[in-house]
Each structure stands twice: as structure tokens, then as C-alpha cells.
Amino acid sequence: MTIDFEHLVIGAGISGLGAAHFSARRGHSTLVLEARDRVGGCINSQAFEDQDGFWVESGGHTCFNSYGNLLTILDDLGLTALIQPKLKVGYALWQDGKRRPIRSALHLGEAIRSLPRMFREPKAGRSVADYYSAILGRRNYDDLLRHAFQAVICQPADDYPAEALFRRKPRRKEVIKAFTFPSGLSTIPQAIADQPRIEVRTGQEVERIARTDAGFRVHLADGESIGAARLTLAVPPPVAAALMPEGFEQARAAIDGIGMAEIETLVLVFRAAEVDIKPMAGLIAIEDAFYSSVSRDFLPDPELRGFAFHFRPGALDAEAQIARACATLDLRPDQVLDQARVHNRLPALRAGHAERVAALDAALAGTPLAVTGNWFLGVSIEDALTRSRSEHDRLFGAR
């Protein structure tokens, strides 16, 4: 069978684009297929044309100088010099219809008594609730940490694997600690996709994948088929399981059953002069219809302020979502200047996830098929790129 590309990637989120970048930088002809009409996946700087391109992050919203693989890509693309520092603004709680300071839910004495356990409590194999209750106290977990962690992953956090929530990473001290870009984080996936070494096709629905003597043949819904020597699946777990070619039954079994959390994101824009609250990073909701809100206040605009609210699926209808969001800001729905709705999905990892990944890796060992995504090490941009880099090294050899 004819090989059209040395490397074919399915999925143009940051995981897939990272995999494409790593292979293209080594001179391999690389194609990326994406079902949606845009690249970036969960990185989505929602821009409003009627507001002179004012944007609000509707998905991932922060990069740090500990994101080593990301910074390598930014260096390669000449983007490191363009990063913008984020204004240091803090989060507040939204509880019982009021904004409250974070400290109002913190039990300081319990935290001080519990903190020494951090150095002796094992993290591997434990749930978020079990581990963080042990090292910071049960009341701190119930009243604050549970809700803060839900705000991070936009789903119930109790049963989430503790080792997938935060990972310590070395920092590049010459780079700003927390940063963004003048046009938002969507600058990153777009710059990767625009490289001449990478071909990206959006609106491409993959029907099935067949294993061949030369690698793989990918069959699209429009009847086209494309041959590739190596293949990377950078899609959510249910899609990866459905597309797994014949001969990879053990890999499919390892993935099957990993769930996804649905998030209804509402992005609202207001005139800055009408928002009479001080700049904030966002809100952590305590037992409400939304998990969190994230503001654009970290890169302020003189005329506009923007907020993205991440709602629990089905908790409120569209009109009620706007009303609730406005209530948290002491505003009325008729003061909304512009809005957008975004459907986000994040992996719903549970106990035993590390064992699933180990089984998947064992099934993929020695094959020209890689699987990556934000459902291996954690949901951050760097977690996704770390997986993509390790799978790239397995397919092509470490540099």
C-alpha cells in the first residue's frame, strides 16, 4: 500500500499538534486530521469580532514557566519572546449568593496540624478526597479544597486520582512564571498548525483505520483513504477506543470505560465601566450550578471585561445560566454586551487509571501506533505535551 505521510495524527488539540510538531521538526512528513472546523481543542481563546477582537479564554487559560515541553515548542516557533505576564489577581468563592474571600472557608489550625503528613502520606493510587483530606484536614477538604479542585477539572473531584491532579515540574527561571499571549493561548496551536512542515485538515471525519504491512490506512467519511507509516491517536478515550484498528484489541480494552465530563461554558462580555467589582482571577463555586468562572482580568482591557462560566451539564437552561452569571457580578442580563457558548469535554479519570495506562502502554509497545491526550498524566497543557513527547520518542526514537 502507498505511504502518503510518514506520520499521521488524528486530533488537532494541543496533544495532537504537539505530536505533529515533534515529528515535523525531525523532518518527517506529517498530516493532522481534525473533525472540528478549528484547531486547539480545549485551548480556545474566544474572540468577539463585534468587540474589536476582544477575547476571553473559554478553556485552558494559564501557562507556567514549569511547562518545559511547551516552552521547547515556543522556542522552536519564536514565540517565547512574545509572551505576556499575567496580572496577579486572586480567586474568590461564590457561596450562598455572595462573593467571599478564600480564607473564609479555610480552617487554618487544622491545616497546620495536618501539614506534616504531606511528607509521609503516599499519593500514588489514592483519590483526591482521600489524599488531600489526610494532608490538609477533612474540614478543609469539605469546605474548600473539594470545590477548588472541581473548579480546576470542571467535574466532581472526590474520586479523581490524586497523582493526576498536580505534578511537580522544574521551572525555567528566565521565563515569566505565569503567562499568556496578546491574542490569548490560541496563539500556540495556531502557530504549530501554520508551520510549513505540517499539513492540517479540519472538518475531517475518520470512519475507520486499517493496519497494513507498511503501517496504517486511514479511511475518511468522504471516501478518501490516506496511508501512513506511523499513526498517533490524539482524541478522547471513547473516540480512541472506537478507532483502534484490528489487532489492537488489548489496547482498546485498556481504554474502554474511561469516561468524559461534559461542561457547558458560557462566555460573557461587559463594558468595564459597568462592572463595579475589583479585578479577580475568577470565582470558585460552592455547591452551585457552575464549577467556576475565569475572568480576562489577568490581561486587562480599558473598555471591556470578560468572564467564562463553566456550568454543570443540564443544571440550568440558557437564560438561567446568564442570570446566574450576572448575579455573581452584581450585573443584569441586559448589561451583557456580547456572549458565546462553548461545549467542552474533559476526561473523567477514576481509581485504577494508572493501571489502565500501563496496560495500554504494554499493548502499544513495539508498534507504530501512539496514543496521546490530556487523559494520561493530567489535564494541563504540559501534561498533554509530556505524553505526546514520550510517545513520539517511542515511535521515532529519542533524540
Domain spanning 5-42+186-258+349-396, CATH architecture: 3-Layer(bba) Sandwich (3.50)
Give domain limits for the chain: 5-42+186-258+349-396, 45-64+84-88+261-347
**In whole angstroms, how large is the CA radius of gyration of the chain?**
22
pLDDT digits (tens, 9 = 90+) for 76-115: 999 999 999 999 999 999 999 999 999 999 999 998 898 8
Residue whose cell numbers read 480599558: 302
Give pLDDT tens digits along the chain (399 positions): 578 999 999 999 999 999 999 999 999 999 999 999 999 999 999 999 999 999 999 998 889 999 999 999 999 999 999 999 999 999 999 999 999 999 999 999 998 898 888 788 888 888 999 999 999 999 999 999 999 999 988 899 999 998 888 777 889 999 999 999 999 999 999 999 999 999 999 999 999 999 999 999 999 999 999 999 999 999 999 999 999 999 999 999 999 989 899 999 999 999 999 999 999 999 999 999 999 999 999 999 999 999 999 999 999 999 999 999 999 999 999 999 999 999 988 999 888 888 999 999 999 999 999 999 999 988 899 999 999 999 999 999 887
Q: Give the pairing of strands 369-371 and 84-85.
A: unpaired
Q: In angstroms, rounded to a whole number, what is the distance separating the alpha carbons of residues 155 and 302?
A: 33
In this structure, are residues 144 and 105 in contact, taking their beta carbons and an 8 Å threshold?
A: yes
C-alpha cell at 34: 481534525
Q: In angstroms, rounded to a whole number, what is the distance separating the alpha carbons of residues 368 and 341?
A: 38
Is 45-64+84-88+261-347 assigned to CATH 3.30.70? yes
C-alpha cell at 52: 474589536
Complete DSSP assignment for 240-291? HHHHPPTT-HHHHHHHTT-EEEEEEEEEEEEEGGG--S---SEEEESSSSEE
In this structure, are residues 392 and 22 in contact, taking their beta carbons and an 8 Å threshold?
A: yes
